[in-house]
Every structure is written in structure tokens, then in C-alpha cells.
């Protein structure tokens, strides 16, 4: 039987404030078995960019990453936020290892081609190599992954944290029985967006299509669920969408084959 692994993706807001970060690290440390943490850090990046007089331009919720912005996100995601989490986990007895996609060539990307929008130094994942990562995890190491990759030509690339989590989970499903958890500001996918308790406990691909047709699921939740189903089809056992304060619980919305 394959060993279980939990990949947890948390957004920037949670890891950027001491109180929520400490709560998250306590909860994460309490998760049994093998695990991986993937984090964002957008608010801190925007804050540092502002302090440095670098303009933060967003298109469709994505950051336009010029050369100066790339320096900012490399410092914030790869340095400040990542190492703060690593040190916090080490203090909790978790043998964390902070990584970007460049480290051990874990995730190589290609700079997003310019179409309608020039996103700049933004990476679209091309290749994930999880073999060394898998060895380390088997030895008790807990990877903490920043939303950065590299192009194999010497450049770091800013990369969406949901994508990092999904691609890492898929690659690690070659070695482990993987559950991928997307932390979210709601308790899960809601049947009624005005009712926080109307969580849909489980969604199959057929149900997803119906919910979208009926307009129950809409907006940014559609790509999130599409990514979840893609992960399931690529070998991930289960995807959970839940509150960051509930990563240890049984709640949220579960997506299975």
C-alpha cells in the first residue's frame, strides 16, 4: 500500500499575519504523515513593491511581473515568507525545507508567451521532477514551496501558487496516495453564496457540469474546480476545498473521481 501524503495550499493572507500564521502552523504541524505546504504571499509583495516605488499591476487577478517586480516577489516569496514559515515549522518539530521550483530543478516553467497581455516574468509550468522531493519526504522532510519557478535559462519566474500545488500534487502522486487541500476563505464550495453553511460536501465531474449549467458554481470557483478535476485525472486521490482553519477537519468540499 502506498503511503499517504497531504499537499496543502494556503493563500497569502493567512501566512502574512502572525496570528493566522501561527494558528496555521500549529494545525499543519498536527497533520499526521507526509505533507507539503505551498504558500502565496501577494499582499506582502504588494506592500514591499509600494515601499520601493514599484507599481503593482494586476490583470485578471494576476500580477504583471516586470524585472523589478520579479526581484520583489523573489525576495518576498522565496525569502521573507518562505523562511518565516520554515523557521516556524522547525520550532514545531517539523523538518521543513523551503523550496522554489529552481531548487533541485523541481519545477521548470516557460515564460508565458505574450498574447493579449504581456505578463512579464510569469511562468507556465512545463516539467515537474518530484523524484528527489519524494526521497526527502520519505526521510521525514516537509517541503514548503514558494510560488516561484525557473526557466532553466537562469531566470526565476513568478508562478501561481494554486498551479504549484496542483502540479506538485500530480507529480508526487507517482510516489504517494495524495490528498490536495486548497485553503479558502469559505467553508467550501457553497450552494448559496449568501449562506456560509451551504457547503456542497462532495462534487463529481457530472455534478460539477450541472452546477455550472444551473449557475450555482460560477466565477473564480470554476477554474479552481477545473484544476481540481485535472489533478484527480492525473492521479491525485482527493482534492479538498476548505477553510484554512479547518485543514485538520473532515469538512469542506471533496472532489473525487
Contacts of 222 (CB under 8 A, 6+ apart): 212
Helical packing angle, 221-233 and 161-172, nearest 10°: 20
Contact 201, 241 (CB under 8 A): no
Query: Is 160 annotated as a binding-site member?
Result: no
CB of 250 to a copy of itself, least distance (A): 29
- Taking CB under 8 A as the criterion, the residue among 153, 195, 206, 215 binding a copy of itself is 153
For position 95 contacting a copy of itself by CB under 8 A, the verdict is yes
For position 155 contacting a copy of itself by CB under 8 A, the verdict is yes
The DSSP letter of residue 175 is T
191-220: contacts with a copy of itself (CB under 8 A) = none
For position 156 contacting a copy of itself by CB under 8 A, the verdict is yes
How far is it, in rounded angstroms, from Cα 182 to Cα 166? 9
- Taking CB under 8 A as the criterion, the residue among 5, 14, 97, 203 binding a copy of itself is 97
For position 30 contacting a copy of itself by CB under 8 A, the verdict is no
Q: CB under 8 A: which stretch of 56-64, 80-88, 175-183, 220-228 binds a copy of itself?
A: 80-88
Query: Is 158 annotated as a binding-site member?
Result: yes
Beta strand segments in the chain, E: 4-10, 34-39, 58-59, 62-63, 96-99, 107-111, 123-128, 142-145, 148-150, 156-158, 177-184, 202-203, 238-243, 253-255
Give binding residues for substrate as ranges. 41-42, 63, 158
Residues that bind a copy of itself (CB under 8 A): 48, 51-52, 71, 74-80, 82-84, 86-88, 90-91, 95-100, 102-105, 132, 135-136, 139, 141, 148, 150-156
Amino acid at each position: 500500500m502506498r503511503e499517504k501524503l497531504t499537499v496543502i495550499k494556503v493563500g497569502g493572507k493567512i501566512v502574512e499575519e502572525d496570528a493566522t500564521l501561527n494558528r496555521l502552523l500549529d494545525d499543519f504541524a498536527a497533520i499526521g504523515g507526509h505533507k507539503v505546504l505551498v504558500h502565496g504571499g501577494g499582499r506582502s509583495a504588494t506592500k514591499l513593491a509600494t515601499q520601493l516605488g514599484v507599481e503593482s499591476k494586476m490583470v485578471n487577478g494576476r500580477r504583471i511581473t516586470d524585472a523589478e517586480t520579479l526581484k520583489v516577489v523573489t525576495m518576498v516569496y522565496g525569502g521573507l515568507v518562505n523562511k518565516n514559515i520554515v523557521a516556524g515549522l522547525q520550532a514545531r518539530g517539523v523538518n521543513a525545507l523551503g523550496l522554489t521550483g529552481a531548487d533541485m530543478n523541481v519545477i521548470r516553467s516557460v515564460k508565458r508567451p505574450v498574447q493579449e497581455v504581456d505578463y512579464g516574468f510569469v511562468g507556465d509550468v512545463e516539467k515537474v521532477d518530484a523524484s528527489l522531493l519524494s526521497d526527502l519526504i520519505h526521510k521525514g522532510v516537509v517541503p514548503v514551496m514558494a510560488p516561484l519557478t525557473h526557466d532553466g535559462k537562469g531566470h526565476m519566474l513568478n508562478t501561481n501558487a494554486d498551479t504549484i500545488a496542483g502540479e506538485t500534487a500530480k507529480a508526487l502522486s507517482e510516489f504517494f496516495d495524495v490528498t490536495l487541500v486548497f485553503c479558502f476563505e469559505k467553508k467550501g464550495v457553497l450552494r448559496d453564496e449568501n449562506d456560509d453553511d451551504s457547503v456542497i460536501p462532495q462534487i463529481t465531474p457530472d455534478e460539477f457540469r450541472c452546477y455550472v449549467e444551473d449557475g450555482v458554481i460560477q466565477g473564480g470557483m470554476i477554474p479552481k474546480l477545473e484544476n481540481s478535476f485535472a489533478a484527480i485525472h492525473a492521479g491525485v486521490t482527493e482534492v479538498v476545498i476548505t477553510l484554512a482553519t479547518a485543514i485538520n477537519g473532515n469538512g469542506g468540499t471533496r472532489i473525487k473521481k
